[in-house]
């Protein structure tokens, strides 16, 4: 039997080829596999009848096999196998592509449990690629774990390998102090790991999850407090207190009250004895760049360089141009540094950074490379915080002796949750829009109105304006025929309905230089419409774009739709966002209607969190935090609060987790934060 640190390939049923597929899931060792927790369970003890099975929801149906149809070849050279099953309430059509053995193993007249997502109509119920279990299998294991999977490595295969590894669970170290386990009546780590993979019943699974969620959030809070204390101990770039009036007086408009308030908070931090560690959070178009410019101005007046990190080259160029207009009148030289620059340009930029002529460096990840050496970096700014992890923040801050750090995010987060998530950061919020920004009208239509919509787009283009058209997928998906794919949509819909117009295509599989070239064309007005995926979501400013069209709007969280909506309305012309969806679910239609009547990003975020949950809200990035395996930053806020209190209490007694009894705890914190980069 292998050890926890051994490669997963040595487990029974794996081998080198399958081990490579496990690596796609971040699973290299046996220990990694045991910590790859199920995302849910199929409960075979509560099957639905065919008629009562909810449409488009994962469920389990118990039915008898009545008929097995002969296999037939269909479009694309695939083989379709269909089976008809039924119970007293109705019939159910079961379909498989290219998996003959699934249908062949079913016996006519036998009753089975079929799990999956019900499709079809109210009169004809269908299940595509259902999971199948016999009555004996259900009696032996009523709850079956469903794992995050990848191509060529389905959940069922993962489950079989996990069962082979479970005897090694006793070797997993338990980082939680025994007193905590006793206080909150939690099982030991090994018992919790065994139970989460193979629970006896729902209560067993819930107890295991509760223990593992607490552990993860406890480690998270310990790590965040340790990060914060690292910064608090160091001496920052010393700056004298300044009045922002000269900077504000140079502007052609008056800053909002929120911008003045955030600037005052930042200036107070910059004049403090410890480095600033602040999150500037504001809705789309709230003017975060102006507040960042004021901070850079303050640093320059004190003789310090600043650096701003942007997630894409086009956004870096946009920031450099905007900040040059604001800061060069004060003698601050703005230098751009990106990976796409020519070698000669890069050498000039690096020399200016090293000798201090570059008062502000704006760039992409290129700013983090070893070749970039600052003369006296005093202020580091990270734009679009959720695109960068803890490690990148640390690398930028590592370019100097504890510089001040300002991170910015356009994703509104309810303040109480923000304080818990960003425990290492103070928070400033821009909660009002600058005067002159017109509200963006938002409409919801069905696909039947698409031709009318394109007539409207033609009129907008006749007036000299541009449009974004966003699709949720890059390629067509045969299992999801209703989803618009950007490549096919571009060729078959947009170009066909916009004859004679200049239509561009942009998606995540293009090379970075290709993406930047297309976006630059759109920004320069050389394209009338841009058919794209959500790669245009972040910060790009095209004042001439007045229409945002989102196909399959039901596929996006409201916060993501709000971000997309914010890409228009940046010029003087009236702008609109048009959401297209043929989904008939009342809940979906209410969500989209809510967005139509609500311009406030914080209200949208709150509604999105309450109705869709955090997976859609935060996505995979977890806003620069370590990757969490089992905890949920929204649903588990009560546990998060308790974990924070316990973490604070422990660090008051042992501020660096240096005591021998906390060695396992310290190692576990390091391991958790390794998913986002080293503790800095």
Q: Any idea which residue has 């774990």 for tokens?
A: 145
- Record the tokens describing residue 674, joined without a space: 């390794």
Among 52-61, 219-228, 420-429, which is the least confidently predicted range? 420-429
Report domain extents, the chain: 46-141, 237-430, 441-598
Among 101-115, 165-179, 191-205, 253-267, which is the least confidently predicted range? 101-115
Which residue has better confidence, 74 or 371? 371
Residue 315 has pLDDT above 90, yes or no: no
Residue 449 has pLDDT above 80, yes or no: yes
Give me the pLDDT at residue 179, please: 93
On the 0-12 / 13-18 / 19+ scale of CB atoms within 10 A, 680 is middle
In the predicted model, what is the mean pLDDT of residues 447-470? 95
Q: pLDDT digits over 150-176, tens only?
A: 888 888 899 999 999 999 999 999 999
Residue 56 has pLDDT above 50, yes or no: yes
Which residue has better confidence, 236 or 48? 48
DSSP-assigned letters across all residues of 296-332: HHHHHHTT-EEEEE-SSHHHHHHHHHHHHHHHGGGTP
Q: pLDDT digits over 434-444, tens only?
A: 776 778 999 99
User: For residue 365, is it left (φ>0), alpha (ψ between -120 and 50) or beta?
Assistant: alpha
In the predicted model, what is the mean pLDDT of residues 100-119? 87
Residue 617 has pLDDT above 50, yes or no: no
Do the domains at 237-430 and 441-598 have one common CATH topology? Answer: yes
Among 19-33, 55-69, 80-94, 420-434, which is the least confidently predicted range? 420-434
Whole-number Å distance between alpha carbons of 545 and 523 = 9
Among 220-224, 252-256, 374-378, 457-461, which is the least confidently predicted range? 220-224
Residue 419 has pLDDT above 90, yes or no: no
Beta-carbon contacts of 204 under 8 Å, excluding residues fewer than 6 positions away, are 195
Residue 283 has pLDDT above 50, yes or no: yes
- Record the tokens describing residue 601, joined without a space: 């990003």
Residue 479 has pLDDT above 50, yes or no: no
Residue 328 has pLDDT above 80, yes or no: yes
Q: pLDDT digits over 503-545, tens only?
A: 999 987 888 788 888 988 999 999 999 999 887 755 578 889 9
Give me the pLDDT at residue 539, please: 56
The count of other CB atoms within 10 Å of the CB of residue 2 is 16
Beta-carbon contacts of 127 under 8 Å, excluding residues fewer than 6 positions away, are 61, 92, 93, 94, 95, 114, 116, 117, 118, 119
pLDDT band at residue 477 under the 50/70/90 scheme:
low
Q: CB–CB of 323/333 below 8 Å?
A: no
Residue 122 has pLDDT above 80, yes or no: no
- Record the tokens describing residue 584, joined without a space: 């008939």
Which residue has better confidence, 409 or 565? 565
pLDDT band at residue 66 under the 50/70/90 scheme:
very high
Residue 562 has pLDDT above 60, yes or no: yes
Among 192-196, 348-352, 368-372, 623-627, which is the least confidently predicted range? 623-627
Residue 264 has pLDDT above 90, yes or no: yes
On the 0-12 / 13-18 / 19+ scale of CB atoms within 10 A, 309 is buried
pLDDT band at residue 337 under the 50/70/90 scheme:
very high
Q: What is the mean pLDDT of the chain?
A: 86
Overall fold of domain 46-141: OB fold (Dihydrolipoamide Acetyltransferase, E2P) (2.40.50)
Residue 357 has pLDDT above 80, yes or no: yes
Residue 481 has pLDDT above 70, yes or no: no
Evaluate whether the domain defined by 237-430 bears CATH number 3.30.200.20. Answer: no
Residue 192 has pLDDT above 60, yes or no: yes
Cα distances (angstroms) measured from residue 678 to each of 227, 389, 443, 638, 671: 10, 10, 45, 28, 9
Identity of the highest mean pLDDT range in 4-8, 368-372, 676-680: 4-8
Whole-number Å distance between alpha carbons of 546 and 577 = 8
- Record the tokens describing residue 576, joined without a space: 């609109």
Which residue has better confidence, 77 or 614? 77
In the predicted model, what is the mean pLDDT of residues 460-486? 80
In the predicted model, what is the mean pLDDT of residues 58-65? 92
Task: Indicate the class that CATH gives domain 441-598.
Answer: alpha beta
In the predicted model, what is the mean pLDDT of residues 641-667? 92
Beta-carbon contacts of 37 under 8 Å, excluding residues fewer than 6 positions away, are 147, 196, 197, 212, 629, 630
The count of other CB atoms within 10 Å of the CB of residue 655 is 12
Q: How far from the centroid of its chain's Cα atoms is residue 608's Cα?
A: 14
Q: pLDDT digits over 266-279, tens only?
A: 999 999 888 888 88
Q: Is 538 helix (H, G, I), strand (E, B) or coil?
A: coil
The count of other CB atoms within 10 Å of the CB of residue 221 is 24
């Amino acid at each position: 039997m292998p050890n926890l640190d051994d490669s997963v390939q040595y487990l029974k049923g794996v081998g080198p080829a399958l081990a490579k597929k496990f690596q796609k899931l971040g699973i290299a060792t046996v220990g990694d596999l045991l910590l790859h927790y199920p995302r849910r369970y199929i409960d075979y003890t509560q099957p639905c009848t065919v008629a009562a099975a909810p449409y488009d929801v994962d469920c389990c149906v118990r039915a008898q096999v009545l008929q097995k149809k002969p296999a037939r070849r269909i479009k694309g050279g695939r083989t379709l196998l269909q089976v008809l099953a039924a119970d007293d309430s109705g019939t159910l059509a079961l379909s498989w592509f290219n998996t003959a053995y699934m249908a062949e193993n079913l016996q006519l007249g036998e009753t089975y449990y079929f799990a999956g997502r019900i499709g079809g109509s109210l009169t004809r119920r269908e299940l595509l690629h259902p999971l199948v279990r016999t009555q004996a299998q259900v009696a032996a294991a009523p709850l079956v774990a469903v794992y995050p999977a990848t191509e060529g490595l389905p959940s069922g295969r993962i489950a079989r390998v996990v069962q082979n590894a479970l005897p090694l669970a006793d070797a997993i170290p338990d980082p939680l102090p025994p007193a905590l386990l006793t206080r909150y009546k939690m099982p030991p780590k090994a018992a919790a790991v065994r139970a989460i993979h193979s629970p006896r019943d729902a209560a067993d699974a819930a107890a295991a999850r509760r223990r593992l969620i607490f552990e993860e959030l406890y480690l998270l809070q310990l790590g965040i407090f340790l990060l914060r204390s690292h910064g608090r101990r160091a001496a920052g770039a010393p700056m004298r207190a300044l009045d922002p009036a000269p900077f504000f007086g140079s502007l052609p408009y008056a800053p909002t009250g929120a911008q003045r308030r955030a600037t005052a908070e930042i200036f107070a931090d910059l004049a403090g004895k410890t480095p600033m560690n602040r999150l500037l959070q504001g809705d789309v178009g709230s003017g975060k760049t102006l507040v960042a410019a004021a901070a850079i101005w303050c640093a320059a007046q004190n003789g310090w360089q600043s650096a701003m990190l942007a997630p894409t080259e086009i956004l870096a160029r946009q920031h450099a141009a905007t900040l040059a207009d604001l800061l060069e009148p004060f003698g601050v030289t703005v230098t751009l540094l990106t990976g796409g620059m020519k070698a000669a340009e890069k050498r000039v930029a690096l020399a200016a950074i090293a000798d201090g002529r570059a008062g502000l460096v704006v760039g992409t990840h290129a700013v983090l490379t070893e070749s970039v050496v600052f003369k006296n970096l005093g202020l580091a700014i990270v734009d679009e915080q959720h695109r960068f992890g803890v490690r990148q923040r640390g690398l930028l801050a590592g370019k100097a002796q504890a510089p001040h750090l300002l991170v910015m995010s356009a994703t509104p987060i309810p303040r109480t949750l923000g304080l818990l998530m960003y425990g290492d950061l103070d928070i400033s919020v821009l909660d009002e829009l600058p005067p002159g920004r017109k509200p963006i009208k938002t409409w919801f239509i069905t696909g039947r109105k698409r031709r009318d919509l394109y007539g409207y787009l033609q009129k907008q283009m006749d007036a000299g304006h541009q449009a974004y058209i966003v699709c949720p997928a890059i390629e067509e998906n045969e299992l999801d025929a209703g989803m618009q794919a950007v490549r096919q949509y571009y060729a078959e819909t947009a170009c066909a309905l916009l004859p004679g117009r200049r239509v561009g295509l942009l998606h995540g599989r293009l090379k970075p230089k290709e993406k930047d070239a297309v976006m630059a064309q759109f920004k320069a007005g050389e394209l009338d419409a841009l058919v794209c995926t959500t790669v245009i979501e972040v910060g790009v400013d095209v004042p001439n774009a007045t229409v945002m069209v989102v196909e399959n709007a039901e596929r996006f969280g409201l916060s993501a739709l709000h971000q997309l909506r914010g890409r228009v309305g940046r010029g003087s012309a009236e702008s609109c966002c048009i959401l297209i969806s043929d989904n008939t679910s009342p809940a979906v239609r209410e969500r989209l209607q809510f967005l139509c009547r609500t311009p406030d990003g914080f209200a949208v975020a709150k509604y999105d969190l309450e109705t869709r949950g955090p997976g859609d809200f935060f996505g995979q990035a977890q806003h620069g935090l370590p990757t969490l395996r089992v905890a949920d930053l929204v649903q588990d806020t009560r546990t998060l609060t308790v974990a924070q209190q316990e973490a604070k209490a422990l660090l008051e007694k042992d501020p660096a987790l240096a005591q021998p009894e906390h060695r396992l705890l310290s190692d576990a914190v390091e391991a958790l934060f390794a998913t986002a980069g080293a503790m800095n």
